[in-house]
């Protein structure tokens, strides 16, 4: 990610129209070039700024590449053991009900080892929001298969491509959670083009607003490129996401209790 | 006789590979060898390094704090490891990517513009092999024929078309010492 | 690779650094021998898959590190109760919680003193080189089958990362023991035999008492017959460094250095951590005046050495909470102990 500094002075006569959100720290990222996590962090920060909730938002980071989310997002944060973020967030929200609490989780964290926790947070309709980053593999540990890995996709633990007879089928989290009554707002977005980035931000904002209104559990799944784990350059990764992930993981809104 | 070397550089500069080649050659010559990479929070970006030992006898600690030789592929590695070199040791520097020379006077410094030399060969990625050539020339830790055999065996089949280039880089590094 | 050579055909695990090389190797090579590699959805699942495969009579194993091991403890406790032969590789990492990926020897207590609930023991083996790890992996399957216990290979982080040449040979420990047939395994009665039940309960009257009585006998047999250790320069030593795993090799370098300066120092290296070589250590207390225990921890095995020495000699400790212990640190510890003994 290119470093964008807010310290840049705006020249007289020019209007500043794009800068770093206030809640995004001015530090260098540890994410790989072309990684989706950086974009999603930024969107979160923009939403936090626009809703003016920096001072009363608490984040829970997962185990995964985004474990250091608190190094970038300048709000209170807890990290959690692998997959347990929704349980930790439950504890926080039940202790601080007037705060806005969210979890930020990868697909290994949420859909594999933490599936029980996310389903039951949804079942209880915890008043928390989950940002679910689906990059079809375990980025942090070196590109192993995740539950979301596509059929035929090569990873370090599926060297011959994922074979459904051995490893089953890709798990569609948004579709799965749509069956849970406790979910109030649920959609799947992607961050491969600027139009979709803008759409993803809208959804994150709505999810937070629904939590703030006290409605219940909201989740935004985001398809996100992982050039390192997929072993391809950033531009190619975006194309791969469009051509391979999107047919499997349809974008759109899966549930909104306000729309009935 | 035991020889230790620390090789350090950016991830992706082929630091681990040349370490592996030294260890593999030592093994081919019937010596005891260890290859210990750095790992941990340094995985993404940053510097990485590997400690290689080649010895005539059983190796105790694979971790050396003050080796007899250090190969640095870039400036951050020079800053990090310069002080650790044993007095009288050899410091090989990729001078293409370091904008300073060591300050210590009690060591032998060999500066090779490896990235530039590799570039001239048509691929800057073989800078690691140029440095390895320099190290072999300076220490004779293993023979060149053994190293060539190691190259052959360590490179997977589908990379064998790169062997001539890598051999050339090795030779360029070796001869740089005698005819800079 | 050693596991496959030892006839392991069922491997279940969940990715965790620093042991990802094992599942990645298994993913590529298990199919070649018709075995099963399965990436579980968590360590909780992985250890229970191992439980199932072992119950079905297979040579099964898993591998993990820190946080994954903590999750597995429930299953490990169950496996101990059900007396299933299982091999588990635990590559240690730094600190509690998510901790770090630093080299460490912090899981000694948890590995050797139970870890999970219920008062069970596992055989715990620690290698100090890749070759030995290779050999012990094969031994582990034999011991597991022979005693019907879980055998743990406790591996330091750097042993998980280092490369050294090894000789790939079927392991032989001199004794060829005939392994009991797994008549207890769940293979279907075929209407030929009474049902087999593998259970982790002890609910029936007196069952808890009976089980612990029986285990006491088994664990005593293991303590009598399976103690393994190694030594270096011990013949004329007056100080002994006690270290296991990779740390023992760092200690060897320190010992060489001290020997050059005339200090009579040697090494005792426990290979089996349970059973611990109490006897071997205590027989030296008449001659060895000081024991220096060194570990990459703030002091765990040192407690067992104190038990063995039982106050008859000096015991001191050099360690660090994580990272790489240098031979200079150990040399310093030896010198300090030597001075202390001299002034006594
Ligand atoms: C109990 C436990 N098991 C395994 C790990 C190792 N581990 C760290 S990150 C990770 C996978 C993360 O993948 P994902 O959630 O998809 O996040 P990404 O890095 O792809 O963003 C695993 C398995 C751990 N820390 N704890
Ligand atoms: S490994 Fe993948 S998810 Fe992790 S930082 Fe790199 S690109 Fe992002
Ligand atoms: Mg992921």
Which tens digit of pLDDT belongs to each residue from C25-77? 888 998 889 999 999 999 999 999 999 999 999 999 999 999 999 999 999 99
Q: Do A115 and C41 touch (CB under 8 A)?
A: yes
Contact C121, C143 (CB under 8 A): no
Residues 6+ apart with CB under 8 A from A95: none
Q: Average of pLDDT values for A157-176?
A: 96
- Domain assignment of residue C128, given as a range: 2-225
Which pairing describes strands B2-10 and B47-55: parallel, antiparallel, or unpaired? antiparallel
Do C131 and C157 sit in the same domain of this protein?
yes
Do C302 and C167 sit in the same domain of this protein?
no
Whether residue A4 has pLDDT greater than 70:
no
B44 contacts on A by Cβ (under 8 Å): 30-32
Q: Average of pLDDT values for A91-116?
A: 96
Do C148 and C275 sit in the same domain of this protein?
no
Q: Which of A108, A159, B167 is nearest to C31 (CA)?
A: A159
Chain centroid, CA A106 distance in Å: 7
User: Of A62, A67, A82, A241, which is best to mutate to test ligand 1, by the most ligand atoms within 8 angstroms of its C-beta?
Assistant: A82
Residues 6+ apart with CB under 8 A from A149: A136, A137, A155, A158, A162, A167, A170
Nearest CA to ligand 2 atom 8: A35
Whether residue A176 has pLDDT greater than 90:
yes
Joined together, the tokens standing for residue A115 give: 């599936």
Contact C77, C48 (CB under 8 A): no
- Sheet with A100-106, edge to edge strand ranges: A76-79, A57-61, A100-106, A129-134, A217-223, A183-190, A252-256
Better pLDDT: B179 or A210:
A210
> In this structure, which CATH number among 3.40.50.970, 1.20.140.10, 3.40.50.300, 3.40.50.150 belongs to the domain A34-259?
3.40.50.970
Facing residues of C274 across strands?
A: C124
Do C188 and C261 sit in the same domain of this protein?
no
DSSP C180: P
Shortest alpha-carbon distance between residue C9 and chain A (Å): 15
Q: Which of A81, A107, A114, A141 to mutate to test the interface with C (most CBs of C within 10 A)?
A: A141
Whether residue A2 has pLDDT greater than 80:
no
Q: Which residue of A has its CA nearest to B42?
A: A30
Rounded to whole angstroms, the Cα distance separating A91 from C291 reads: 48
Q: Do C14 and A113 touch (CB under 8 A)?
A: yes
Q: Do C27 and A142 touch (CB under 8 A)?
A: no
Is the alpha carbon torsion for A209, A210, A211, A217 positive or negative? Answer: negative
- Ligand 1 atom closest to A82 (CA): 26
Which pairing describes strands C86-91 and A100-106: parallel, antiparallel, or unpaired? unpaired
Shortest alpha-carbon distance between residue B35 and chain C (Å): 5
Q: Average of pLDDT values for A129-134?
A: 98
B45 contacts on A by Cβ (under 8 Å): 30
What separation in Å is there between the alpha carbon of C232 and the centre of ligand 2?
46
CATH no. for residue C293?
Answer: 3.40.50.920
Rounded to whole angstroms, the Cα distance separating A135 from A138 reads: 8
Residue C311, chain A, CB below 8 Å: the answer is no
The Cβ of residue C83 has, within 10 Å, a number of other Cβ atoms equal to 19
Q: Do C38 and A166 touch (CB under 8 A)?
A: yes
Contact B6, B31 (CB under 8 A): no
Q: Average of pLDDT values for B32-59?
A: 80
**Which of B33, B40, B63 minimises the CB distance to C165?**
B33
Whether residue B142 has pLDDT greater than 80:
yes
B41 contacts on C by Cβ (under 8 Å): 100-101
pTM here is 0.90
Which contacts of C37-40 are long-range, i.e. CB under 8 A and separated by 24 or more positions?
C37/A157, C37/C11, C37/C12, C38/A166, C38/A167, C38/C11, C38/C12, C39/A144, C39/A145, C39/A157, C39/A167, C39/C12, C39/C13, C39/C14, C39/C15, C40/C12, C40/C13, C40/C14
Report how far apart the first and last C-alpha atoms of chain B are (Å, whole number).
30
- Domain boundary at C225, C244, C267, which? C225
Residues 6+ apart with CB under 8 A from A175: A254
Do C12 and C118 sit in the same domain of this protein?
yes
Q: Average of pLDDT values for A66-82?
A: 95
Give the model's pLDDT for residue C260.
96
Contact B102, B122 (CB under 8 A): no
Whether residue A159 has pLDDT greater than 80:
yes
Q: Which of A69, A144, A156 is nearest to A105 (CA)?
A: A69
DSSP C321: S
Do C182 and C302 sit in the same domain of this protein?
no
- Domain boundary at C225, C246, C261, which? C225
Do C69 and C156 sit in the same domain of this protein?
yes
Name residues with Cβ closer than 5 Å to ligand 3, which is an ion: A 106-107, 135
Give the model's pLDDT for residue A1.
34
Ligand number nearest to the C-alpha of A228? 2
Do C264 and C176 sit in the same domain of this protein?
no
Q: Average of pLDDT values for A137-152?
A: 96
Helix and strand element counts for chain B (H, E): 6, 6
Residues 6+ apart with CB under 8 A from C41: A112, A113, A115, A147, C14
Do C117 and C235 sit in the same domain of this protein?
no
Backbone angles phi, psi at C127, to 5 degrees: -100, 155
Rounded to whole angstroms, the Cα distance separating B6 from C158 reads: 16
Tens of pLDDT along B85-133? 999 999 999 999 999 888 889 999 999 999 999 999 999 899 999 999 9
**A-B Cβ pairs (cutoff 8 Å, strict):** 4
- Ligand 2 atom closest to A37 (CA): 8
Residue C274 host element (H or E):
strand C272-274
Whether residue A92 has pLDDT greater than 60:
yes
Q: Do B35 and C256 touch (CB under 8 A)?
A: no
- Domain boundary at C225, C241, C256, which? C225
Residue A28, chain B, CB below 8 Å: the answer is no
- Tokens 């020495």, located at residue: C309
Rounded to whole angstroms, the Cα distance separating C258 from A36 reads: 55
- Tokens 């031979």, located at residue: C327
What separation in Å is there between the alpha carbon of A60 and the centre of ligand 3?
16
Enter the ipTM: 0.83
Report how far apart the first and last C-alpha atoms of chain A are (Å, whole number).
40
User: What share of chain A has pLDDT > 90, as a percent?
Assistant: 91
Helix (H, G, I), strand (E, B) or coil at C310: coil
Extract the residue ranges of chain C whose pLDDT is less than 70: 173-175
Number of compact structural domains in chain C: 2
Instruction: Please indicate whether residue A64, judged by its CB atom, sits closer than 6 Å to ligand 2.
Output: no
Do C286 and C194 sit in the same domain of this protein?
no
Do C189 and C282 sit in the same domain of this protein?
no
Helix (H, G, I), strand (E, B) or coil at C63: strand
Fold of B2-176: Pyruvate-ferredoxin Oxidoreductase; domain 3 (3.40.920)
Give the model's pLDDT for residue B46.
61
Rounded to whole angstroms, the Cα distance separating C256 from B2 reads: 13
Joined together, the tokens standing for residue A165 give: 């007879």
Is the alpha carbon torsion for C5, C7, C9, C11 positive or negative? Answer: negative
Residues 6+ apart with CB under 8 A from C174: none
Per-residue pLDDT band at B10 (split at 50, 70, 90) = confident
């Amino acid at each position: 990610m290119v470093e964008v500094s807010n310290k840049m002075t705006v020249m007289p006569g020019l209007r500043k129209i794009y800068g770093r959100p206030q809640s995004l720290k001015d530090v260098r990222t540890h994410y790989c070039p072309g990684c989706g996590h950086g974009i999603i962090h930024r969107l979160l920060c923009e939403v936090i700024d626009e809703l003016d909730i920096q001072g009363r938002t608490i984040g829970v980071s997962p185990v995964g590449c985004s474990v250091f989310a608190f190094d970038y997002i300048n709000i209170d944060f807890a990290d959690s053991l692998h997959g347990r973020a929704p349980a930790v967030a439950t504890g926080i929200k039940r202790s601080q009900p007037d705060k806005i609490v969210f979890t930020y989780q990868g697909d290994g964290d949420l859909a594999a080892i933490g599936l029980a926790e996310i389903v039951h947070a949804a079942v209880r309709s915890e008043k928390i929001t989950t940002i679910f980053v689906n990059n079809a593999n375990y980025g942090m540990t070196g590109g192993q298969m995740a539950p979301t890995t596509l059929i035929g996709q090569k990873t370090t633990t599926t060297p011959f491509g994922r074979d459904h007879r051995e490893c089953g089928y890709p798990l569609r989290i948004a579709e799965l959670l749509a069956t849970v009554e406790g979910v109030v707002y649920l959609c799947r977005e992607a961050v491969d083009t600027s139009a979709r980035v803008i759409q993803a931000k809208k959804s994150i904002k709505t999810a937070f607003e629904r939590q703030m209104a006290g409605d219940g559990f909201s989740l935004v799944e985001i398809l996100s490129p992982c050039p390192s784990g997929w072993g391809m350059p950033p531009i190619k990764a975006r194309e791969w996401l469009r051509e391979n992930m999107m047919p499997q993981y349809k974008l759109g809104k899966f549930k909104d209790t306000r729309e009935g | 006789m035991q020889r230790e070397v620390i090789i350090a550089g950016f991830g992706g500069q082929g630091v681990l590979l040349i370490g592996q080649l030294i260890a593999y050659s030592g093994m081919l010559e019937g010596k005891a060898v260890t290859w210990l990479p750095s790992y941990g929070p340094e995985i993404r970006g940053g510097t990485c390094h590997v400690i290689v030992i080649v010895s005539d006898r059983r190796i105790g600690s694979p971790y050396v704090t003050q080796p007899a030789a250090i190969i640095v592929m870039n400036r951050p590695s020079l800053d990090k490891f310069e002080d650790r070199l044993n007095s009288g040791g050899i410091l090989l520097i990729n001078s293409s990517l370091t904008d300073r020379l060591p300050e210590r006077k009690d060591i032998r410094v060999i500066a090779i513009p490896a990235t530039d030399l590799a570039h001239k060969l048509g691929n800057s990625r073989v800078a690691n092999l140029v440095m390895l050539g320099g190290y072999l020339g300076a220490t004779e830790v293993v023979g060149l024929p053994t190293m060539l055999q190691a190259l052959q065996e360590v490179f997977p089949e589908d990379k064998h078309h790169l062997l001539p280039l890598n051999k050339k880089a090795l030779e360029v590094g070796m001869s740089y010492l005698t005819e800079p | 690779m050693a596991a496959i050579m030892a006839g392991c055909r069922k491997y279940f695990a969940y990715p965790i650094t620093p042991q990802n090389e094992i599942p990645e190797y298994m993913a590529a090579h298990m199919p070649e021998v018709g075995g099963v590699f399965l990436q579980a959805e968590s360590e909780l699942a992985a250890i229970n898959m191992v439980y199932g495969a072992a119950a079905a009579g297979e040579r099964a194993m898993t591998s993990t590190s820190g946080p994954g091991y903590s999750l597995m403890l429930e299953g490990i406790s169950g496996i101990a109760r059900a007396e299933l032969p299982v091999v588990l590789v635990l590559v240690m990492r730094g600190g509690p919680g998510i901790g770090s990926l630093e080299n460490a020897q912090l899981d000694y207590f948890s590995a050797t003193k139970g870890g999970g609930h219920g008062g069970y023991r596992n055989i715990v083996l620690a290698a100090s080189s890749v070759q030995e790890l290779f050999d012990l992996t094969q031994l582990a399957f034999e011991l597991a089958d022979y005693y019907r216990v879980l055998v743990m290979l406790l591996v330091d982080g750097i042993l998980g990362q280092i490369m050294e040449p090894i000789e790939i040979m079927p392991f032989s420990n001199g004794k060829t023991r005939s392994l009991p047939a797994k008549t207890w395994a769940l293979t279907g009665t075929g209407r030929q035999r009474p049902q087999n039940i593998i259970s982790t309960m002890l609910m029936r009257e007196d069952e808890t008492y009976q089980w612990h009585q029986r285990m006491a006998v088994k664990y005593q047999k293991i303590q009598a017959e399976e103690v393994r250790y190694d030594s270096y320069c011990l013949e004329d030593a007056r100080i002994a460094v006690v270290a296991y795993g990779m740390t023992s090799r760092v200690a060897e370098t320190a010992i060489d250095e001290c020997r050059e300066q005339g200090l009579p120092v040697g090494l005792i290296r426990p290979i089996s951590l349970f059973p611990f070589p109490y006897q071997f250590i205590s027989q030296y207390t008449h001659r060895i005046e000081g024991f220096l225990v060194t570990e990459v921890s703030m002091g765990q095995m040192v407690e067992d050495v104190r038990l063995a020495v039982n106050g008859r000699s000096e015991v001191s400790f050099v360690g660090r909470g994580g990272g790489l212990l240098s031979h200079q640190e150990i040399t310093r510890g030896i010198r300090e102990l030597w001075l202390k003994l001299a002034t006594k």
